[in-house]
Structure 1
Amino acid sequence: MKTKIIYLLMACIFLVSCQNLNRPSGQMTRVERVVSGQTIEIADRSVAVPLLEPIRLIGIQAPDIRQNPWGQEARIQLEKLTLGQEVLLEFDTQEKDGFDRLLAYVWLGGKLINEYMVKEGLALAKPDFPNTKYMERLTNAQEKARLMGLGIWNPNQPMRQTPGEFRSQNLKQ
């Protein structure tokens, strides 16, 4: 009987210690502006006159803002969720992208906003190597959204081109 109790206590301690490892850590900040369904801006208060600094959500690709109706819808939903809110920015391996935007996972009240955007069919899950910490979560969220026909996966009004395809075609014109 004592052995069973000891094993049970050890299992509980192990589970509690594992839970603490999964908590995101990073920088708390306020969202000042939402640029698109994948980019927010925060105020960089480390300088005398605060500048807006763009943050690109890791692992997602939202429709281009001109990609009707999904680009505006993604921006509006991200704005409703985050604008004026204190969020946690969790960073991964790579600090910035090719456009000099910080790359981050955005957490609000324990909710991974990157995942939420994909789960609601507002963005595609897109690997951002080497930043892959939550790629499995994002891929699973996309599969659920696709099966449920949500947002860009709606069979009556699907997104016909990926954001990358849309941008490359529209840059040529």
Structure 2
Amino acid sequence: MKSKIWFTAAVYRKFWAPRLVIWARKITILGCLLLLISCQAHNQSVDNQIQVKVARVVSGQSLEVLGIGEQPTLISRVRLLGIDAPDLRQSPWGDEARQTLEQLIGDLETPVTLEFDVETKDTIGRTLAYVWRDEKLLNEQVIEQGYALFVGRSPNHKYDQRLERAQQWARLMGKGIWNPEQPMRLTPAEFRRRNL
């Protein structure tokens, strides 16, 4: 009986103890890495957001804002990421898209939060951003109300799934441009190409 106990203790010391130490080290390292990654993700989310005041809603996908950069009174053009709203000449949807975005923004004195993705400017110099107001993503709200299409633009894909779900819901519900009695026949991009 003593030899059996001794054998089990010896096996434990020689075989299991080193493996448990290795596993404990791996778990500790993994925990440290997860903590480090979560701290970095938190810092990135804070660094890639700014609060601005909206000066004017230009269209269903563009704003003029105050507060970007070093000059707080300089007006900058912002294009909402992930959406393509009807052109203002694309009646009646263009004007309805602009009015929808105006309603979502509400009081111009209350600041909105711009959240940036990988690429912060487009080819014509507009700032690209996700716009938040009262913890609601306005890009998503415009799509969900049926006044913009979801258009993913590489490399900015942070909220693509969320925006695509909003479009599916608007389409199912027949909202705005998806209204079966008065559907929008040309996408905004097609309309712009034909009416240059």
Alignment of 1:1-173 (within 5 A): 25=46, 26-44=49-67, 46-47=70-71, 50-82=73-105, 84=108, 85-171=110-196
Matching residue of 1:12: none
Asked which structure has the greater CA Rg, the reply is: 2
Shift of 1:145: 0.3
State the Cα deviation string for residues 131-152 of structure 1 (Å, max 9, x = none): 0000000000000000000000
State the Cα deviation string for residues 25-49 of structure 1 (Å, max 9, x = none): 410111111100000111247338x
State the Cα deviation string for residues 41-82 of structure 1 (Å, max 9, x = none): 11247338x221000000000000110100000001111222
3-state SS, counterpart of residue 164 of structure 1: helix
Q: Separation in 1 of the partners of 2:78 and 2:154? A: 17
TM-score (norm 2): 0.73
State the Cα deviation string for residues 106-137 of structure 1 (Å, max 9, x = none): 00010000000000001000001100000000
Q: Separation in 2 of the partners of 1:168 and 1:121? A: 22
- Say which structure, 1 or 2, has more relative contact order (CA 8 Å, 6+ apart): 1
Structure 2: any 5+ residue segments left out of the alignment? 1-37
3-state SS, counterpart of residue 147 of structure 2: coil
Q: Separation in 1 of the partners of 2:178 and 2:103? A: 21
Aligned-residue CA RMSD (Å): 2.1
Matching residue of 2:26: none
Which moves more between the two structures, 61-70 or 76-85? 76-85
Structure with bigger helix share is: 2
TM-score (norm 1): 0.82
Q: Separation in 2 of the partners of 1:47 and 1:105? A: 21
3-state SS, counterpart of residue 195 of structure 2: helix
3-state SS, counterpart of residue 78 of structure 1: helix
Which moves more between the two structures, 64-73 or 76-85? 76-85
CA contact (8 A) 2:53 2:67 kept: no
Structure 1: any 5+ residue segments left out of the alignment? 1-16
3-state SS, counterpart of residue 66 of structure 1: coil
Q: What amino acid sits opposite 1:115 in the alignment?
A: E
